[in-house]
Amino acid sequence: MGKSKVVKGYGKSQEKNLDYYVKYQHDHAFIIRDNKLQYNVEVLIGKQTLYCGFHDTRSADHVCEHIRFIKRWEESKFKSKSNQKGSQMQSN
């Protein structure tokens, strides 16, 4: 069984107002909540790409909104870590 962790970053009140949010991150997948569909969607992590379980993007060349959401979420997470490191270096 793979490792899993609850991804924190949104309060309960914010989760209800968002179209998507990350519920869990496993070592091989993200579980996101799609509030528009009222459905949990699994986005699998492949060797070079992401696969959406809801839209079955393994056999298609398009990128769905769930994959775009995960990419934006990862970019924002990376930027916030970079900003934290930069502010720590400036304070030293």
Mean pLDDT, rounded, of the chain: 78
Name the 3-class secondary structure at 63: coil
- Edge-first strand listing for the sheet containing 39-45: 4-6, 20-26, 29-34, 39-45, 50-52
What is the predicted pLDDT for the residue at 1? Answer: 43
Name the β-bridge partners of 20.
34
What is the predicted pLDDT for the residue at 53? Answer: 87
For the entire predicted model, the pTM comes to 0.65
Give per-residue pLDDT as tens, 54-86: 888 776 667 899 999 999 998 988 888 777 766
